[in-house]
Chain A
């Protein structure tokens, strides 16, 4: 382009210059003002209680309803507003909480809904406000839910969404095969060919089971062995900082792997780790393990295409009588004050827990409900929701979820090792050894970084 042409262009642009500068100035002004308007309300000392939660979909809608009811009733009376913010999965909420706490406690929410993977970090944090500090009465809360969150510091959080692992099965398929849900993994291996299905070309068209156990499932598969087994010392990390791995030397992981491989070798187990409920809803797997809290969602996705059944989780072997642990989540608080206490009291009240349980499949944590006629009537109408409660009652309350550092990473390591055994022919003892080493390394790193 010739230079003189450019000059003519710039002559025209000269008039536009003022506008360009003005818009730039406006933008700069906007940058300066925006943080004030956006960040100004971040601190919730004005009667707003911020809750970071992990409820989405059907469960999220139920939670929103509960929050709305508070804001329009008790909250309106007392001048308290709950601001519920969805932050992704329970893991995502934990990530957010840790990131916020790394800077200053003022960026933390008032309450965060977290699960067992958070417990160890929370227990060792200096920003957690214990329920006892808030003066919350926990006498009417389900004992095994309390046990699941108890540590040497006392109760860490208020159980809110209690669930347990549950065996979901396609009742139509099981009935047609004339079998009941399996009591043990060996029994499962025996009936797997009956509930599974192969096409004429020999490929599996319906699996008996889909999924690969991870920390959550192993809480039951290992925890229930011999009536009660811990995965790590300090009562699964609930009592002090865990320092050594137990599932290796006590032989519990090995025992599980032996029985699991036996089931896998039937050829009717699919090792998928995502989209399992979709496969179940589409009738391509006859059973799965999932949290009892998924019940509403599962029923809505199946949409009446077949009858869904729920049953106790199969036991690893005949001696594995401990049952399942309470999972799900709890409300951890990071600020004190009456507003926070009022909100927590509301969340575990009979009324709230009834609505919550009916809409989701979580077990109500308020024991006052157990003889409540409304709740009993609901269970009579919806027997599937009853199974989780019965299973929990039949379980040893000392069987608790394991509290580990790097919990997210270990979750995947378990799946990898199990798959190595089932699919890649890895020696079981070697797999146990490697898994033990991986968890031990996480424990050592954690101790190195957090014990003075």
Chain B
């Protein structure tokens, strides 16, 4: 009787987990070894054929390269800027609430609104970005700069939350150690590097892994900002998955990429949790 009650409380969560996580994973896994037509008919056994086909597709391989480039551009930038912002404001002062409010404003932007704004800021040669930076570039028309713009937009999307997390980590540090070090004559910089940074390292690691996961799985911002262009240079793995699954109706690519991405994110997540335990 008592047990039955417990199951009732867990049932909604369990049902959703089965319906929207395990069932689709099972279907993808099974499907990745089968030949399936666009209309969903199973045509036969494919063995590892689907994996071979996807992994030998130059456009899939280049989507991996594009995603890696995005991660390389986005992750350090995001970490550096959020850490800088949180560090600058780590001591509560009379006026710190003003920049704090400003740094939270990106929360008000929704993804597609931000993408449309970025599109305009960097559109064509006579863009406001060129005017401010004194450059003469077609940002969204060159593979590298388009990716850079995407990375900057990624930072805008993640900035506010990461900033809040790091800021509160800084402010939750036990003041007494810092004060003691101050009395011992340690400089502010030394205290920052030797005491405060190690104290917030755990939270920093969490924000980095969260950002990494976001970066590896990025697709919607690509869709709205660049549609994978120019010349497919911003086509990331998950955007490629979307195109193949929904636009081309290529079930071989859909199932195999789904399985590979689950495996990949499982690896990242277990690395993240292992390192969290170490800390």
Contact = CB atoms under 8 A, between A and B. Distances in A.
A and B together in one complex:
yes
Interface of A: 91, 94-95, 98-99, 101-102, 121, 124-126, 203, 212, 270-275, 278-279, 282, 284, 405-406, 408-409, 412-413, 415-416, 419, 434, 438, 441, 445, 448-450, 452
B36, B124, B252: most-surrounded residue (chain A CB, <10 A): B124
B37 A415 contact: no
A95 B248 CA distance: 8
Nearest to A416: B231
Interface in B226-241: 228-232, 235
The secondary-structure label for the interface of chain B is loop
B125 interface: yes
B250 A413 contact: no
Contacts of A445: 53, 250, 252
B37 A94 contact: no
Interface residues of B, number: 34
A448 B35 contact: yes
Contact of A95 (B43, B138, B247): B247
Given A273-B230, A274-B229, A121 B39 contact: no
The 6 closest A-B pairs by CB, nearest first: A416-B231, A406-B248, A272-B141, A412-B232, A95-B246, A273-B230
Given A270-B138, A275-B140, A413-B59, 6 more contacts: A102-B38, A126-B39, A273-B229, A282-B124, A284-B124, A449-B35
A449 B231 contact: no
Contact of B232 (A101, A271, A413): A413
B228 A412 contact: yes
A435 to B, nearest CB: 11
A94 B246 CA distance: 9
A101 B249 CA distance: 11
Interface string B56-77: 0111000000000000000000
Nearest to A103: B40
A132 B229 CA distance: 40
Given A95-B246, A98-B247, A438-B58, A284 B126 contact: yes
A101 B39 contact: yes
B243 A408 contact: yes
B232 A449 contact: no
A269 to B, nearest CB: 13
A239 B204 CA distance: 60
5 contacts: A102-B38, A125-B39, A275-B124, A284-B125, A449-B252
Contacts of B228: 412
The secondary-structure label for the interface of chain A is helix
B231 A450 contact: no
B123 interface: yes
B231 A408 contact: no
B36, B57, B141, B228: most-surrounded residue (chain A CB, <10 A): B141
Given A413-B59, A448-B35, A452-B43, A94 B231 contact: no
B38 A412 contact: no
B179 interface: no
A405 B141 contact: no
A405 B253 CA distance: 14
Nearest to B235: A412
A91 B247 contact: yes
B246 A274 contact: no
Given A275-B123, A284-B126, A416-B232, A409 B39 contact: no
A408 B124 contact: no
A168 to B, nearest CB: 17
Contacts of B141: 271-274
B136 interface: yes
Given A95-B246, A441-B57, A121 B38 contact: yes
B124 A98 contact: no
Contacts of B252: 445, 449
Interface in B124-178: 124-126, 136, 138, 140-141
A327 B161 CA distance: 47
Nearest to A91: B247
A98 B245 CA distance: 10
Contacts of B39: 101-102, 125-126
A450 B250 CA distance: 10
B230 A449 contact: no
A423 B131 CA distance: 26
A274 B231 CA distance: 11
B136 A278 contact: no
